[in-house]
Each structure stands twice: as C-alpha cells, then as structure tokens.
Amino acid sequence: MQPKEAITFLKQNPERITDFSLPFDVTREVLHDYGMIVLDTSPLMDEALALSQKYGLLFSDALHAASCTHYALDHLITNDRDFSRVDCISVIAP
C-alpha cells in the first residue's frame, strides 16, 4: 500500500490500528530509552505565526523555528531547505 492508501484504510478501519505493534514499540523506545524531551510549544503560537509570516514558512515549520529560538537551540538538523531563510537558526543538512 502507498502511504496515502494506508492512511485512508486506517481511517476507515480504525480497529486495525491495534494489529500493528511496531510503530508503538519504536515510539515508546525513543521516548523512554533515548532521553528524548518533549518541549511544550503552546506558548509559542504567536512567535510561530510571526516567523511563518516573516519567512514564508508553513506553520509546522514555523513552530519548529520558534521552538529553536525560544528554547535556545542553535542548530536544526534537517533536509528542509525552507529553514535556510530563517536567519536566527543554523541549519545542518545531514
């Protein structure tokens, strides 16, 4: 199945989601075993809107950029070239 087909299938058959353990297991492993910290982005909405408008970013990208600036994260590792327009973030392309 192509990703779009899989999403449509799962939306139409939500009971089948429980048949798949790997995505849940991997996510739990990343959250619990790798010291991942989930940052609160709720106070960043206004800043994300401003960055979206200033740099022409999609809101989800702008929220990442706002998170970087708010939490003093100097570098963003991404293949997304849109972040190169944001002058307050140093982008590292893997």
User: Are residues 87 and 54 part of one domain?
Assistant: yes
Question: Quick one: pLDDT at residue 22?
Answer: 94
C-alpha of 31 from chain center: 14
User: Are residues 27 and 56 part of one domain?
Assistant: no
Question: Quick one: pLDDT at residue 44?
Answer: 96
Structural domain count, the chain = 2
Mean pLDDT (whole number) for 33-55? 93
pLDDT in tens, 9-42: 999 999 999 999 999 999 999 889 998 888 889 9
State pTM to two decimals.
0.67
Question: Quick one: pLDDT at residue 38?
Answer: 84
**Domain containing 61: what range?**
42-92
Query: Which distant-in-sequence residues (6+ apart) come within 8 Å of 89 by Cβ?
Result: 65, 68, 69, 74, 75, 76, 83
C-alpha of 82 from chain center: 14
User: Are residues 52 and 18 part of one domain?
Assistant: no
User: Are residues 57 and 77 part of one domain?
Assistant: yes
